[in-house]
Amino acid sequence: MTHSQDTAEALALEALGWLAGNDELLPVFLGATGCSPDDLRERAAAPDFLGAVLDFILMDDAFVIAFCDGTGRAYTEVAAARAALPGGQQVNWT
pLDDT at 87: 80
Q: Is residue 91 part of a domain?
A: no
Q: Is residue 90 part of a domain?
A: no
Determine contact, residues 85/2, Cβ cutoff 8 Å.
Answer: no
Q: Is residue 93 part of a domain?
A: no
pLDDT at 2: 66
Q: Where are the alpha helices (DSSP H) in the chain?
A: 5-20, 25-33, 37-43, 47-58, 61-71, 77-83
Positions of the chain with pLDDT under 50: none
Determine contact, residues 8/85, Cβ cutoff 8 Å.
Answer: yes
pLDDT at 3: 72
Determine contact, residues 63/25, Cβ cutoff 8 Å.
Answer: yes
In angstroms, the CA 65 to CA 39 distance is: 26
Segments forming the whole domain that contains residue 20:
5-83
Half-sphere exposure of 41 (CA within 13 A, CB side): 3
pTM of the model: 0.88
Q: Is residue 64 part of a domain?
A: yes
What total number of domains does the chain contain? Answer: 1
